[in-house]
Amino acid sequence: MRAWYTLPRMVFLKSLIISFSMFSAIPMPRVGWNERNMRYMLCAFPLVGAVIGIAAASWAAFVVFAQTVLLKNIGKEIAALGFVLIPVIITGKIHIDGFMDTCDAVGSRAERERKLDIMKDPHCGSFAVVSCALYFLAQYALSCRIFGDVIDGGRKFENQWQMLQHFFPLAPMFVSSRLLSAFAVSTFPIAKNSGLLRTFADASAKRFTAAWCGIWFALHSLLSSIALGLPATAATAAQIAVFVLYYFGSRHHFGGITGDTAGAFVQISELASLLAVAGAYIFF
C-alpha cells in the first residue's frame, strides 16, 4: 500500500508527463489521459518553458565559447537562427499552429461563429502564411540585434561572464509566457464547450492552478528583475501588456479563449519580450 504522501507526487508526475507529451516534442512514457492524471498538467506547463530557456541559454553559452575560446566568429545570423529554431524544435510547432489559426480567423473579419469555424479548418489561409513569415522575420531580426552585441562588438564586455549575462534576460520569457497562459486557461472565459482546451480546463484544479501560476509568475518576475535588471523588467512589462490585450481581444473576437488563441498568446508574448529586451539594450 502506497504511503499517503506518495500519491500527490505520483499524480503530479503523471500530470508532468502529460504536459510534456502535449506541449513539447520530447519523447515521454505513456500514461492514462484521465481527469485525475491531468489535474495538474497546466501547473507543469511552465516547465516546458524552463527546458526551452535552458536550451536557449546553452546555445548562448556556446556562442560565447566559440567567440572567446575557439576564436571562431560563427556570425550573428547563425547565432540568431539557432535561437529562433530552439523553441520550434522543442515544442514541435504546436504554438505556431495556434498562432497561424488565430491570425487566419482574426484576419477574416468575419462574424464570431465564422471565426471559430475558421480556426477549426485544417487548411492554411493567406493571413496565416503572411503572419507566420512576419513573425519569424521579426524574431530573427531582433535576435540578430542582440547577438550582434557580442559577435560584432556592438557592446564592450570585460569577460566571458558579462557576455553570457547579456543573453540571460531572454531565458525567463519562455517560463513566464507559459505561467500566464496556464493562468488564463484557469481564469478566462472559454469560447467553446468542446475541444482540447475545454478538456484541459475542466480536468485541471482551476483554483490551485490559478494560485500556483499567479504566485510563481510574481516571484519569477521579481527575481528576474532583481537579478537581470532593466531588460528583464521590460520583458515582464511587455508580457503583462500582451496578457491584458489577450483577455480583451479574445473576448471581442471569439467570446473567450480557445486552444489556438492560447498558442498565439505564447508566441506573441515571447516576441514582445524579445522586442522589449532588444529595445532596452538599444536605448539604455
pTM exceeding the 0.75 threshold for the entire prediction: yes
Question: H-helix or E-strand containing 83?
Answer: helix 76-91
| Rg, C-alpha atoms of the chain | 20
pLDDT tens per residue, range 179-216:
999 999 999 999 988 778 888 888 888 899 999 999 99
Query: What residue spans define the domains of the chain?
Result: 54-283
**Closest residue by Cα to residue 91 from 122, 58, 50, 119:** 50
Check: CB of residue 281 under 8 Å from CB of residue 157. no
Reduce the DSSP state of residue 153 to 3 states and report it.
Answer: coil
Tens of each residue's pLDDT in the chain, 284 residues = 444 344 466 778 888 999 999 999 999 998 888 888 888 899 999 999 999 999 999 999 999 999 888 888 889 999 999 999 999 999 999 999 999 999 999 999 999 999 999 998 888 889 999 999 999 999 999 999 999 999 988 788 888 899 999 999 999 999 999 999 999 999 999 998 877 888 888 888 889 999 999 999 999 999 999 999 999 999 999 999 999 999 999 999 999 999 999 999 999 999 999 999 999 998 88
Question: H-helix or E-strand containing 101?
Answer: helix 94-108
Check: CB of residue 162 under 8 Å from CB of residue 263. no
β-partners of residue 257 are 190
pLDDT tens per residue, range 214-256:
999 999 999 999 999 999 999 999 999 999 999 999 999 999 9
**Closest residue by Cα to residue 52 from 202, 273, 225, 251:** 273
- C-alpha to C-alpha distance for 206 and 212, rounded to whole angstroms: 10
